[in-house]
């Protein structure tokens, strides 16, 4: 492809052409980003909904929310209503939250505890294992097999703090999906931190812009995040790509440039871990935050930040909030630039960009995995 700027014609390119305009075989030194059209085209968003969010393992809850028999959460994933529940036997189960009678949502609260799920419409009830328990006034209905009318199951599994579901019934296991990540993360001891607080942000950019920004190997840190940069040894920043994850890491340095950041971000190393397609974990000593990026139309996304600390006692609450404030400042800087990028992606002046070999290997991995899933969908 000679020119990477948009052709500017009024004719809409076919989806095939748009997908074909990215070459996922290029080595990093020759690679381009995925084209701008992938960030603004509704048809790409629809393909992603089905084959990325509807076909990969997605974080939907924390294991702490589903520990006791009867505890449940409801979520929407790739446009599908889902309920995840801890059964009477302690096992996790997930179902489409769609009544088998006339399709109403059976569970209406976002989380809670129940011994049975009763549909608010005509009172059909389901056990925590999804089986149909009661269908009022249904005597005399021919060829109606209760055993065939339970809630439709969804694959579910847990790893570390997180409960994942996968809408593709043929998908391989969560363990296979995570691959070597499981072993790689073990020494980081994620289990030592405990959930403290959740904050949700809405951004005016495509979800991939946020992920790209995360995966640029620290490239933007000295320019955009002066405070954070003061505690990282930028020159020693490393990026490691494996399977479906990218692990970025940087040694920490002590600095008196930014007192709030130095107090909140401690330890020998910072770890920034991304798992395809939309989940990140950021670790410092005694601290973790996770970011779950969810599309909200083609030009918007929602990012759910969960903050974890080693000490979540009342005595530590103020210190933890100060640490969150440091994170929020960094996030504000990222939000501004991500929204600027989204506006630029709409410009006729931009088609696709090149990647820094030193810094942007993570983005390259993301774009190749994404292209693979979308092309498989076609
Ligand atoms: S839709 Fe659920 S009972 Fe009728
Ligand atoms: Fe950033």
Residue 102 Cβ contacting ligand 1 at under 6 Å: yes
Quick one: which ligand is closest to 327's CA?
Answer: 2
Is the CB of 207 within 6 Å of ligand 1? Answer: no
Nearest residue (by CA) to ligand 1, atom 1, is: 102
- Residue 199 Cβ < 6 Å to ligand 1: no
142 burial type by CB count under 10 A (0-12 exposed, 13-18 middle, 19+ buried): exposed
Of all ligands present, the nearest one to the C-alpha of 98 is 1
Closest-CA residue, ligand 1 atom 3, reads 122
Q: What pLDDT score was predicted for residue 8? A: 53
Q: Which residues have CB under 8 Å from 51's CB, separation 6+?
A: 373, 374, 376, 377
Whether this model's pTM surpasses 0.85: yes
Q: Name every residue whose Cβ is closer than 8 Å to that of residue 169 and which is 6 or more positions away in sequence.
A: 155
Which ligand sits nearest to residue 104's alpha carbon?
1
The two three-digit tokens of residue 302, written as one number: 């929602």
| Nearest alpha-carbon partner for 150 in 96, 218, 108 | 96
Q: pLDDT at position 264, please?
A: 83
* pLDDT score recorded for residue 10: 60
Give the separation between CA 338 and CA 332, rounded to whole angstroms: 10
Compute the distance from residue 103 Cα to the ligand 1 centre, in Å.
Answer: 6
Write the residue with the smallest CA distance to atom 4 of ligand 1: 122
Please tell me the distance between residue 365's alpha carbon and the centre of ligand 2 in angstroms: 18
Interatomic CA distance for residues 136 and 269, integer angstroms: 60
Q: What is the C-alpha separation between 227 and 14, in angstroms, rounded?
A: 45
For strand 92-96 and strand 132-134, is the pairing parallel, antiparallel, or unpaired? unpaired
Alpha helices in the chain (DSSP H): 15-20, 42-48, 174-178, 181-185, 207-214, 221-224, 226-229, 259-264, 317-345, 361-377
Condensed to tens digits (0 to 9), the pLDDT of residues 10-65 reads 678 999 999 999 999 999 999 999 999 999 999 999 999 999 999 999 999 999 99
Q: Cα(237) to centroid of ligand 2, in Å? A: 14
pLDDT of residue 2: 39
Q: What is the pLDDT of residues 123-178, one digit of tens each?
A: 999 999 999 999 999 999 999 999 999 999 999 999 999 999 999 999 999 999 99
CA–centroid distance, 99 to ligand 1, in Å, is 6
Whether omega for the bond prior to residue 277 falls within 30 degrees of 0, making it cis, is: yes
Q: What is the pLDDT along the chain (378 residues), one digit of tens a residue?
A: 434 566 555 678 999 999 999 999 999 999 999 999 999 999 999 999 999 999 999 999 999 999 999 999 999 999 999 999 999 999 999 999 999 999 999 999 999 999 999 999 999 999 999 999 999 999 999 999 999 999 999 999 999 999 999 999 999 999 999 999 999 999 999 999 999 999 999 999 999 999 999 999 999 999 999 988 999 999 999 999 999 999 999 999 988 888 888 888 888 999 999 999 999 999 999 999 999 999 999 999 999 999 999 999 999 999 999 999 999 999 999 999 999 999 999 999 999 999 999 999 999 999 999 999 999 888
Give the model's pLDDT for residue 377.
84
Residue 364 confidence (pLDDT): 98
Whole-number Å distance, alpha carbon 10 to ligand 2 midpoint, is 35
């Amino acid at each position: 492809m000679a020119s990477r700027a948009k052709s500017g014609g009024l004719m809409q390119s076919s989806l095939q052409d748009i997908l074909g305009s990215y070459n996922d075989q290029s080595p990093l030194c020759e690679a381009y980003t995925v084209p701008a059209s992938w960030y603004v085209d509704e048809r790409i968003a629809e393909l992603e909904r089905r084959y990325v969010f509807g076909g990969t393992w997605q974080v939907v809850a924390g294991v702490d929310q589903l520990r006791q028999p009867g505890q449940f959460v409801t979520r929407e994933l790739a446009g599908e209503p889902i309920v995840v529940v801890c059964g009477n036997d302690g096992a996790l189960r997930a179902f489409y939250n769609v009544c088998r009678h006339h399709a109403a949502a059976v569970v209406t609260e976002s989380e809670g505890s129940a011994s049975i799920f009763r549909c608010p419409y005509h009172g059909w009830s389901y056990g925590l294992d999804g089986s149909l328990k009661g269908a009022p006034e249904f005597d005399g209905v021919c060829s109606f097999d209760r055993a065939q009318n339970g809630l439709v199951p969804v694959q579910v599994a847990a790893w570390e703090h997180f409960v994942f579901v996968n809408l593709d019934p043929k998908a391989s296991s969560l363990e296979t999906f995570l691959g070597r990540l499981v072993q790689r993360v073990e020494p980081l001891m994620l289990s030592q931190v405990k959930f403290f607080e959740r904050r949700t942000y809405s951004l005016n950019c495509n979800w991939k812009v946020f992920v790209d920004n995360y995966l640029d190997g620290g490239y933007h840190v000295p320019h955009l995040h002066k405070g954070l940069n003061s505690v990282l040894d930028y020159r020693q920043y490393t990026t490691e790509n494996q399977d479906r994850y990218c692990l970025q890491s940087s040694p920490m340095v002590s600095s008196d440039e930014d007192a709030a950041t130095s107090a909140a971000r401690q330890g020998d190393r910072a770890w920034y871990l991304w798992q395809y397609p939309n989940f990140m974990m950021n670790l410092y000593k005694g601290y973790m935050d996770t970011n779950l990026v969810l599309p909200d139309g083609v030009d918007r996304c929602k990012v759910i930040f969960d903050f974890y600390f080693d000490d979540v006692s009342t005595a530590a609450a103020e210190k933890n909030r100060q640490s969150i404030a440091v994170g929020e400042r960094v996030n504000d800087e990222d939000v501004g630039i991500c929204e600027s990028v989204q506006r630029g992606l709409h410009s006729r002046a931009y088609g696709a960009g090149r990647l820094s070999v030193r810094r942007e290997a993570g983005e390259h991995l993301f774009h190749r995995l994404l292209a693979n899933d979308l092309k498989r969908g076609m």
